[in-house]
Chain A
Amino acid sequence: MNAVREFRNVALAVGWRTLHNVLHNPSLLIPGLMFPLLNFIAFAGGLSRLQHIPGFDYPPGYAGFQFCFVLLQSAAFGGVFTGFGIARDFEYGFSRRLMLGASRRSGVIAGYAIGALIRWMITSVVVTLVAIIAGMRIKGTPVDLVGLYLLAVMVNVAFLFWACGIAMRFQSVQAGPMMQTPVFLLLFFAPVYVPLKLLQGWIHGVATANPITQLLEAIRGLLAGHPVEVGVAYLVAAGLIFFLGMWAIFNLRHAEAKG
């Protein structure tokens, strides 16, 4: 029982600090907010004619089509941006003191995950409102929408674990490109602009093998009210959380050993 309380106390303290830092520092909050919004404006505004190409049939419209990608992207990058903060904590020596003070160190990871999640929730509200203003039509039921946001939450947690692992391994903000480049590539190797069936050539093969495609297609299906392989998408998300969670814990142990 004590162990659970200690874990919770550490997690809540770290989560609160992470959130406090972000909310009191516009240079940390604004990029995380602007990045998905700018992508949404550029894609939904500049590429909307793509909805007229033969074979493109998506009831929520092109704004809805891009909203799903941008929501997923903001969830993933919400985790990555929090990873930058973890790396900064190591650079400034805060993490060392945190390790000394935390009775349950795995709670540190959970705390960062809580901070990343609440931070992303702010972004997701803004992105959703902008998409609705831009003409997105929501065709899914409330249950579908809960399923949609839950998948995005799982993506946020998974990629926080990824970035957390990198930050704890390299303990420097200079590892930033290692946190974001693979995530960026994974996201853009999914069917970003048109549905998977309309992709041609090598990108179709890469997108088919990309686990993010499964998540994106499921999210788009839920928004449209026609769920597509949602169970598989949840399995993929759970798998990502499991393996990347292991990665984070492995690197936490590495950071502990390093002292």
Chain B
Amino acid sequence: MKTTALQVYHLARRSVVRQARQPANVVAPVIFPLGLLAVNSGGLQPATSIPGFPTDRFVAFALAIPFMQGALFATMNAGTDLARDIQTGFLSRLSLTPVRGVALVLGQLAGVAFVATVQAVVYVAVAYAVHVHPASGAAGVVVLLGLAIAIAIGFGAAGVFMALRTGSGESVQGLFPVLFVFLLVSSMNFPRNLIEASWFRWLATVNPVSYLIEGLRSLIIEGWNGEALGLAFAIAAGLITLALVASGLALQTRMTRT
């Protein structure tokens, strides 16, 4: 147990240092979603005049989106880094050592958690800077950070799985548009009950990403909404579990192949 913990520590340290040494990996996931937030919150502010819209400031409503976009970037970064390890033979060399598979995956995800924490703190700071005070208070901010990190780890684990399965950075990058579709076809820009097109409302309802966004959003504009939070945490936990199991299986195959 102690040995595994030590392995996780060393690989996690490598992953975090690696992320920190690639400013583009940290800066882009922060800047790009904030740019989109600025554009969308300006352009969609008139939507708040629609009866039943849950807030009178669209920026508060949209603030959950950067957390999700940041998680998507985390997926790409984690997956691409691991794919590079596979392509450069680092994983092959690692497989000659007694390092355990679980340490490799968890270590990789530590880098994701690091970037996700930086992102989430910046987004919360931006929220306060534009006078959006989360309705759930200081404790809500802590839960918000926790949920954002959990979502990023879930998506990061999906990126790790893709990298282990394909061994190609390009394939991992190819996953981005697919994940982005999930984001587009969700309740990211409108509350589900106010979406007029029934086919879109249906898609948003069956799309798990909607519930992740609504969990984050509830802490910002509603306060404490047990149902929204429960669903968001359950989906994040499900995603993490599923992606980790899939990664474990893919890792076995990958280690056998190399």
Contacts and interface: CB of A to CB of B under 8 A. Distances in A.
B42 A199 contact: yes
Contacts of B46: 50, 53, 193-194, 198-200
Contacts of A50: 44, 46-47, 50
B129 interface: no
Contact of A46 (B50, B177, B204): B204
Interface stretch (B65-73, B109-117, B139-147, B193-201): B193-201
Contact of B189 (A47, A189, A194): A47
Nearest to A200: B45
Given A53-B50, A200-B45, A41 B39 contact: no
Nearest to A205: B42
Contacts of B44: 47, 50, 193-194
B1 interface: no
Interface string A172-195: 000000000000010011011110
Query: Which of B46, B47, B203 has the most chain A CB atoms inside 10 A of its CB?
Result: B46
B185 interface: yes
B43 interface: yes
A259 interface: no
Contact of A49 (B42, B185, B188, B190): B190
B138 interface: no
A52 B42 CA distance: 18
B177 A34 contact: yes
B50 A52 contact: yes
Interface residues of B, number: 27
Contact of A194 (B36, B43, B184, B203): B43
B38 to A, nearest CB: 8
B96 interface: no
A38 B43 contact: no
A45 interface: yes
B197 A46 contact: yes
Contacts of B196: 48-49, 52
Given A38-B184, A42-B185, A49 B195 contact: yes
Contact of A189 (B39, B49, B177, B180): B39
Contacts of A47: 44, 47, 189-190
A48 B197 CA distance: 7
A185 B35 contact: yes
A203 B39 contact: yes
A53 B195 CA distance: 14
B225 to A, nearest CB: 22
A239 interface: no
B35 to A, nearest CB: 7
Interface in A53-76: 53-54
Contacts of B189: 42, 46-47
B39 A46 contact: no
A189 B35 CA distance: 11
Nearest to B44: A193
A201 interface: yes
Contacts of B190: 46-47, 49
Given A46-B204, A49-B196, A41 B185 contact: yes
A209 B46 CA distance: 20
Given A45-B197, A46-B197, A48-B197, A188 B185 contact: no
A201 B42 contact: yes
20 contacts: A41-B184, A42-B185, A45-B203, A46-B184, A46-B190, A47-B44, A49-B194, A49-B195, A50-B44, A50-B46, A50-B47, A52-B50, A192-B39, A192-B43, A193-B43, A193-B46, A199-B45, A201-B42, A203-B45, A206-B42
Interface of B: 35-36, 39, 42-47, 49-50, 177, 180-181, 184-185, 188-190, 194-197, 199-200, 203-204
Q: Please provide the 8 A-B residue pairs with the shortest distance between their CB atoms, ordered closest to farther.
A: A203-B42, A45-B200, A42-B184, A49-B196, A188-B39, A48-B196, A45-B197, A193-B43
Given A38-B177, A53-B49, A199-B42, 9 more contacts: A45-B200, A46-B200, A185-B35, A191-B43, A193-B43, A199-B45, A200-B46, A201-B45, A203-B39
